[in-house]
Amino acid sequence: MGTQQVLLIVLSVIIVGVAVAVGITMFSTQSSSSNREAIKSDLMEFGSQAIAFYKAPAGMAGGGKGSPGFGTTAAQIINGVGRWCGFGSDRVLKNDNGNYLFSMNTTSRAVIYGVGKQKGQNPNFVNTWHAPPPKKGYIEIILYINPEAADPFTWNIRN
């Protein structure tokens, strides 16, 4: 082969290699971003379920529209809203999108932490949480549970 043909083959291999590397990077970034959006969607669903719990009659194991409401102690809120949303007694819920922890900071503020299962979300994630997750790579929804307020439930998602 002539040197010109060898040069074209080498150049073609380099271009194809770069194209494959860029494609893999783009797919990985999109996959991680999609997982973060799925976590946010799950957290929005938990917020909606908390409202459903509050509005459900007490006879149906709900909050009875404020009587008793979300509860007065952290244990009542975790057992009420947490169980309604699907969390177990260990306050952890796992699904295809990620892992979630239901936590009570105060009796008027609950936080649900979510960590995605995609690489890049949180590589040091442990499967059992007993405290808030590491500061990097998680998303949280804060449920402000205030029985004295006109609107007793609001939520805020932080990323």
Task: Output the pLDDT for position 66.
Answer: 67
Closest CA to 52 of 138, 142, 143, 116: 143
Alpha carbon distance 35, 85 (integer Å): 20
Task: Output the pLDDT for position 123.
Answer: 45
Q: What is the pLDDT of residues 26-39, one digit of tens each?
A: 776 677 778 888 88
Indicate the pTM of the whole model. Answer: 0.70
Task: Output the pLDDT for position 12.
Answer: 92
Task: Output the pLDDT for position 144.
Answer: 72
119 phi/psi in degrees, rounded to 5: -60, 135
Do 100 and 112 contact (CB within 8 A), yes or no? yes
Do 71 and 58 contact (CB within 8 A), yes or no? no
Alpha carbon distance 31, 75 (integer Å): 37
Task: Output the pLDDT for position 39.
Answer: 85
**Average pLDDT for runs of 10 along the chain of length 159:** 86 92 78 82 87 83 73 77 86 86 76 76 47 62 68 65
